[in-house]
Amino acid sequence: MKKFIYLVLLGSLTLVSADAKSSAVRLTSSSFQEKVVVNSQGEEQLMLAPVSKIIPGDIVIYKNDIVNKGRKTASNLVIKNAIPKHMEYVEDSSLCLDEQGCRMLFSIDGGATFKNRDQLFSTNEQGEQEVADAKAITTIKWIIHRLKAGGHNQVQFKARLK
């Protein structure tokens, strides 16, 4: 079995496959901000706009599009996305838009180990173990079990500028 790694310009995003058939899988990443606009009826609506300028407290949506341009189903696709420096993960913001879903795992040690969100623990000031705060999350991993030929999936998360 071969592993294929596609590095994206962000440098913090990788697609790793344990399946050699996935060499036709392409990954693209983009980031957006929610903007409030007023439509022609004078109603406020939320829309996504490419990130231009952010200030502390602003939230950025990181989207990763995965497309299988091959003729065969790709399996066991693993996408790892580091939370960018100076950003903090927004709790419960990770999504997998595939109707069959993905498995999502999280890391608080820079991606050395991954666990379910409720299994991440840190030690508080009193020396007691407690569920790690969302701010402690450093990396998110999605596992896509199958992506059909011609198929598309999208995974995403939100992060706030510190």
Strand 74-82, strand 139-147: pairing: antiparallel
pLDDT band at 137 (very low <50, low <70, confident <90, very high): very high
* CATH code of the domain in which 19 resides: 2.60.40
Strand partners for 155: 64, 96
Provide the percentage of residues in the chain whose pLDDT is more than 70: 85
The 8-class DSSP code of residue 14 comes to E
Structure confidence at residue 17 (pLDDT): 53
Domain that includes residue 106, residue range: 4-161
Strands, DSSP E only, in 1-151?
4-7, 13-17, 25-38, 44-50, 59-68, 74-82, 87-89, 95-96, 103-107, 121-123, 129-131, 139-147
Indicate whether this model's pTM tops 0.85.
Answer: no
Q: What is the mean pLDDT of residues 24-52?
A: 88
pLDDT at 45 over 50: yes
CA distance 147 to 137: 27
Token code pair at residue 110:
């820079």
The 8-class DSSP code of residue 43 comes to -
Structure confidence at residue 12 (pLDDT): 54
- Location of structure tokens 């949506």: 61
The 8-class DSSP code of residue 115 comes to B
Specify the higher pLDDT residue, 100 or 62: 62
Cβ atoms 66, 154 nearer than 8 A: yes
Domains contained in the chain, number = 1
Structure confidence at residue 84 (pLDDT): 92
Structure confidence at residue 6 (pLDDT): 28
Cβ atoms 62, 142 nearer than 8 A: no
Say how many CA atoms lie within 13 Å of 33 toward its Cβ.
Answer: 14
- Edge-to-edge strands of the sheet including 4-7? 4-7, 13-17, 74-82, 139-147, 103-107
Least confident of 22-36, 100-114, 120-134: 22-36
Give SS3 for 103: strand
Average pLDDT, the chain: 84
Q: What is the mean pLDDT of residues 146-157?
A: 92
Structure confidence at residue 23 (pLDDT): 67
Q: What is the mean pLDDT of residues 138-147?
A: 93
